[in-house]
């Protein structure tokens, strides 16, 4: 009974482990590459997508939004390594993301390190933190594991909120007000609105890295073991593999990827705020993964991008004239971004149980039926 909450997420056979059989089989390996190239040249386009973005694609506002979306796409893909592919429900993933955000920020702003050193230290530190805490938390399973990771993350949140003092009386983390990033030591290419495009490319690089790593790992022998762990941990043990070790590897790897995401996010937003330590962030990662389709290659990425897009754009939607002109009983709720987001999410879970990526398999019979006519 204890375990059932974390029973393997809606079974998805990892793409990597099943042979492709579509007509596009020959082309498919190149599709991600095409997508990457398209994403990389977006900033050269002045196309205006009214309603979707406030300005042309290459305007700093749009690029900033896209950069945030891409980071969260990567973050969700990393989280899926835990949740969708190994069946571990962690409620504390925000901690490692926050370690990246605050680690970079504190090291740059308070310790005055150059960015590359700060980033390297932060990622190393975050990975080690994940390894240590994972080593402890993985002594439990199921919902207990979820709660222990939540507890660790909560301690992280409390530490950030407490704003421990340095000798000089300056708080380390800035408490609830957060800590703006001191950009004076940063490469000029990462500072200023006109350079938002570089942040965008950075985010794209991060996303590519995560997708590549996750894809590679889940197609590897280790990934096969992780998929087995999702179904039956006891069996893995009897086959002669130590479940604990493999789970720890997945946990550490996911933690490290999240920390790297934190570093990038810190640069994009230009600071850290306690928002990133909250358990809501982990929950929203879960939401992203499920929205997209757990255990699939592109589902979590799409879920993450879509979620963040909605999260940001709905604030504009809520205050738009279209909404304001509605009768009060509609316009009031609709002007609450969280209301719309929550509703969209409920509907998504309800109508696309396998996530966005299941749309394809759901639509295929329909399309073939149409084609036959």
Contacts within 8 Å (CB) and 24+ apart, 38-43? 39/70, 39/204, 40/201, 40/204, 42/66, 42/200, 43/197, 43/200, 43/201
Does residue 339 touch another protein according to CB under 8 A? yes
- Which residues from 201-220 bind another protein, rule CB under 8 A? 216-217, 219-220
Does residue 261 touch another protein according to CB under 8 A? no
CA distance 159 to 146: 20
Cβ of residue 269: shortest distance to another protein, in angstroms?
5
Q: What are phi and psi of 50, to 5 degrees?
A: -60, 140
By C-alpha distance, which of 237, 289, 234, 277 is closest to 76?
289
Does residue 13 touch another protein according to CB under 8 A? yes
Block residue for tokens 């399309």: 367
Does residue 338 touch another protein according to CB under 8 A? yes
Cβ of residue 24: shortest distance to another protein, in angstroms?
19
- Which residues from 60-79 bind another protein, rule CB under 8 A? 60-65, 68
Applying CB under 8 A, among 259, 273, 277, 296 the residue interacting with another protein is 273
Secondary structure E strands in the chain: 179-180, 271-272
**Element spanning 180, H or E:** strand 179-180
Does residue 22 touch another protein according to CB under 8 A? no
Does residue 362 touch another protein according to CB under 8 A? no
Does residue 4 touch another protein according to CB under 8 A? yes
Q: Where are the alpha helices (DSSP H) in 22-59?
A: 31-41
Does residue 325 touch another protein according to CB under 8 A? no
CA distance 121 to 103: 8
Q: Choose the binding region for another protein from 30-38, 121-129, 186-194, 356-364 (rule: CB under 8 A).
A: 186-194
Applying CB under 8 A, among 23, 26, 33, 44 the residue interacting with another protein is 44
Applying CB under 8 A, among 122, 269, 281, 285 the residue interacting with another protein is 269
Query: Which residue's CB is nearer to another protein, number 195 or number 208?
Result: 195
Query: Which residue's CB is nearer to another protein, number 120 or number 186?
Result: 186
CA distance 77 to 297: 8
The alpha carbon of residue 245 and the mean position of all alpha carbons in its chain are separated, in whole angstroms, by 24
Does residue 110 touch another protein according to CB under 8 A? no
Q: Choose the binding region for another protein from 31-39, 117-125, 254-262, 330-338 (rule: CB under 8 A).
A: 330-338
């Amino acid at each position: 009974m204890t375990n059932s909450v974390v029973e393997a997420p809606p079974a998805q056979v990892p793409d990597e482990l099943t042979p492709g059989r579509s007509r596009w089989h020959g082309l498919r390996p190149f599709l991600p590459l095409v997508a990457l190239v398209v994403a990389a040249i977006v900033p050269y386009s002045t196309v205006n997508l009214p309603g979707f973005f406030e300005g042309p694609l290459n305007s700093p506002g749009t690029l900033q939004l896209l950069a945030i979306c891409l980071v969260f796409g990567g973050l969700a893909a990393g989280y899926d390594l835990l949740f969708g592919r190994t069946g571990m429900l962690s409620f504390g993933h925000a901690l490692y993301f926050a370690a990246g955000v605050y680690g970079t920020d504190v090291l740059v702003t308070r310790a005055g390190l150059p960015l590359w050193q700060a980033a390297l230290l932060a990622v190393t530190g975050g990975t080690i933190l994940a390894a240590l805490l994972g080593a402890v938390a993985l002594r439990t399973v199921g919902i207990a594991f979820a709660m222990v990771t939540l507890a660790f993350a909560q301690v992280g949140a409390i530490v950030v909120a407490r704003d421990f003092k340095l000798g000089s009386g300056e708080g380390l983390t800035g408490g609830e007000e957060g800590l703006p990033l001191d950009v004076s030591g940063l490469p000029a290419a990462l500072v200023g609105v006109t350079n938002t495009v570089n942040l965008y490319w950075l985010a794209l690089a991060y996303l590519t890295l995560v997708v590549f790593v996750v894809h590679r790992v889940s197609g590897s022998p280790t990934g096969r073991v992780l998929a087995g762990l999702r179904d039956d941990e006891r069996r893995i043990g009897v086959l002669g593999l130590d479940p604990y070790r493999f789970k720890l590897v997945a946990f550490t790897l996911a933690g490290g990827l999240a920390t790297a995401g934190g570093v990038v996010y810190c640069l994009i937003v230009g600071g850290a705020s306690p928002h990133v330590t909250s358990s809501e962030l982990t929950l929203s990662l879960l939401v992203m993964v499920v929205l997209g389709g757990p255990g699939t290659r592109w589902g979590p990425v799409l879920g993450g991008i879509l979620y963040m897009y909605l999260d940001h754009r709905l604030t504009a939607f809520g205050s738009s004239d279209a909404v304001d002109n509605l009768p009060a009983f509609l316009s009031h709720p609709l002007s609450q971004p969280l209301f719309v987001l929550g509703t969209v999410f409920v509907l998504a879970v309800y109508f696309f149980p396998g996530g966005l990526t299941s749309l394809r398999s759901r639509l295929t019979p329909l399309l073939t039926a149409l084609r036959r006519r």
